[in-house]
Amino acid sequence: DPLIVTLDGPAGVGKSTMAKRLARELSIPYLDTGAMFRAVAWRLGDGAWERGDARLTVDLAGMEFSLSGIGEDSVLSLDGVPIGDEVRSEQVAMWASNIAVLPVVRASLKAAQQTLGQRFSLVAEGRDMGSVVFPAARCKFFLDATADERARRRLRQLAGMGKTADFDELREQIARRDHQDRNRAEAPLKPAPDAVIIDTTNLGQEQVFAALVRGIRG
Ligand code: C5P
């Protein structure tokens, strides 16, 4: 059976950084499910959530995700095209959050995620990996941190991609997106009952990574 490790938590907590490292440690791919929601949102464009289920179902049925590579070299593609930095703005993130409330969108991406999880061992990161998509995962983690610290981390991540943002605006955007993610009816952002919760606010990357490895190796 494929090994599945889930890493959930709010925006900017450092899930992607840790998922890449953990996947490298385990020599398996990591699956960035936020990138799936972002790529679909980017492809559908602004206002997609108002289009109605019938149209969205047809659009989604025509999209296919694939995964290759290991650790930080994992490449997630939509219809054969690697998902790139074009989806990494807070605007596209908000579009993603807006379509992520729709049951038809969630059902379609859940099926795609589970198909990948049957084919590959994965470190799967997102919002509902441990609670909904991979309930039988070997290890489940939920990373948390204060809103201020998450905005700082996201600012640093954007800087690494050569992008700039205003701190207060970024914090406000992340807070709005988290509020929507925590309060939606379907698969709201919350820890699975059997997840290990790690408050990373005052932890450095090495400490978070060590805690994850301890959690897996026991
Ligand atoms: O993780 P990331 O910030 O890239 O995710 C973008 C948005 O996609 C989230 O704010 C959330 O609304 C949605 N998402 C989700 N379920 C996941 C991953 C992401 O609803 N498993």
Say yes or no: CB of residue 126 within 6 Å of ligand 1: yes
Q: What does the pLDDT read at residue 157? A: 87
Centroid of ligand 1 to alpha carbon of 96 (angstroms) = 7
Rounded Cα distance, 50 and 178, in Å:
21
Mutation choice for ligand 1 from 17, 97, 134, 183, CB with most ligand atoms inside 8 A: 97
Output the pLDDT for position 48.
85
Taking alpha carbons only, the member of 126, 99, 122 closest to residue 190 is 126
Beta-carbon neighbour count of residue 23 at 10 Å? 26
CB contact set of 176 (below 8 Å; sequence gap of 6+)? 94
Q: What integer pLDDT is reported at residue 177 of this predicted model?
A: 95
Distance 62 CA to ligand 1 centre (A): 21
* Best residue among 127, 133, 154 to mutate for probing ligand 1, ranked by most atoms within 8 Å of CB: 127
CATH number for the domain running over 4-212: 3.40.50.300
Model pTM greater than 0.90?
yes
- CA–CA separation, 194 vs 215, rounded Å? 12
* pLDDT tens, N- to C-terminus, the chain (218 residues): 899 999 999 999 999 999 999 999 999 999 999 999 999 999 999 888 888 999 999 999 999 999 999 999 999 999 999 999 999 988 999 999 999 999 999 999 999 999 999 999 999 999 999 999 999 999 999 999 999 999 999 999 889 889 889 999 999 999 999 999 999 999 999 999 999 999 999 999 999 999 999 999 97
pLDDT computed for residue 51 by the predictor = 87
Q: Ligand 1 centre from 181 Cα, in Å?
A: 8
- pLDDT of the residue at 46: 85
* In the chain, where the domains are located: 4-212
According to the model, what pLDDT value does residue 137 have? 98
